[in-house]
Structure 1
């Protein structure tokens, strides 16, 4: 997914421009730190104090220049208007968050307001059009039948989440002024790998196959996750 995000950023902004990036629900800060290392000015917003602590520890180990470009704010992604002014960012990331938000539309509208004109909104969501794939491929026929008509699921950690459908998010993004520009499938071919599976010594072919599937119909439509990129008008 990092390659897809970099591709969209490179296609929208001049080469070498230091972008203002907001990572909502940054977790332990992996993606945000990667972008700060690339020269961008990054703000990470996270409400989980444990994740904030991990992110601060990782940041403390970085050179001073990177630390100066990475700001961490402890807070809820649904309160972006409290922390930031509208139009403050060129790129807003919201990866792996919507599946734990009961009513995502207000959150998405708030994220769109944070974008400057021409800004990029990057979302990573659970694919509601493919919830039957994992139980079906695992031979859980009852689970697959239930999933066809459901928007909820339980992840491998036993945590309940909510899935989004591509058509619904496309309409939502258009309604909040950040129409869908591009989308990809994530974990198309690898989602059913058993927990603890060791990657191959040389993962080049695996990554290439997953990348190709994530860009190609019909494969991307049955991905476990969807990566959507909207652009602020």
Structure 2
């Protein structure tokens, strides 16, 4: 995921340019802190108080220069108009958030609104066209049968959430003037691994295989997650 995002940043922006980044739903701050360490100015917009506290804790141990590049705001990504003007950001991230929204369009419209012309929108969504893959690979045949044609699923922490179809999100972003230029699969080969699976001593072959599968048809189409990259017209 990080490699894919870096590839898109390199393709869209001049080398050395300091970007204005909005991370909607940054969670524990993996991407927000990584981008701040790279020199970018990052704003995290988080609606979950516990996640916001965790990110503040993580940020507190960073060097002062990095802390100064990160701003944290309590708020809902669907209400960016309350906090930011149109075109405020060069890069907008919304990773693993859309599945918790009752429907995607209000969030997508809010994200597109704050994206500057030529800016990059990075979305990570659950793939509704592949919901039968995980239960099928785990031998849960009733679960696999129920997943066909469904747009909802139970995630790893037991919550009933929603998935998106690539064609539908692409059509919405086209209508918002932020067409999808590139898309990848994420967790193509590893989605059925248990949460407590040991990390291989040599992680690079696993990452390389996942990276290749996420770029290659037909594998990327059955990924658990889709990474969609749109560019503001």
**What TM-score does the superposition give when structure 1 sets the normalisation length?**
0.99
Q: Which runs of 5+ in 1 are unaligned?
A: none
d(CA) in 2 for partners of 1:31 and 1:104?
Answer: 22
The equivalent of 1:4 in structure 2 is: 4
The equivalent of 1:82 in structure 2 is: 82
d(CA) in 1 for partners of 2:138 and 2:68?
Answer: 47
d(CA) in 2 for partners of 1:157 and 1:211?
Answer: 25
The equivalent of 2:173 in structure 1 is: 173
The equivalent of 2:111 in structure 1 is: 111
The equivalent of 1:52 in structure 2 is: 52
d(CA) in 2 for partners of 1:199 and 1:67?
Answer: 30
d(CA) in 1 for partners of 2:141 and 2:155?
Answer: 17
d(CA) in 1 for partners of 2:30 and 2:134?
Answer: 26
Structure 1: which 4+ aligned runs deviate by more than 2 Å?
none
The equivalent of 1:149 in structure 2 is: 149
d(CA) in 2 for partners of 1:110 and 1:49?
Answer: 21
Deviations 1:113-141 (A, max 9, x none): 10110000000000000000011111111
The equivalent of 1:25 in structure 2 is: 25
Deviations 1:80-134 (A, max 9, x none): 1101111000000000000000121011011001011000000000000000001
Residue 22 (structure 1) shift: 0.1
Residue 198 (structure 1) shift: 0.6
Q: Which runs of 5+ in 2 are unaligned?
A: none
d(CA) in 1 for partners of 2:59 and 2:157?
Answer: 27
d(CA) in 2 for partners of 1:156 and 1:106?
Answer: 26
d(CA) in 2 for partners of 1:59 and 1:156?
Answer: 27
The equivalent of 1:100 in structure 2 is: 100
The equivalent of 1:218 in structure 2 is: 218
d(CA) in 2 for partners of 1:51 and 1:195?
Answer: 20
Residue 58 (structure 1) shift: 1.2
d(CA) in 2 for partners of 1:171 and 1:195?
Answer: 34
**What TM-score does the superposition give when structure 2 sets the normalisation length?**
0.99
Number of matched pairs: 233
Over the residues paired in the alignment, what is the CA RMSD in angstroms? 0.7
2:136 maps to 1:120 = no
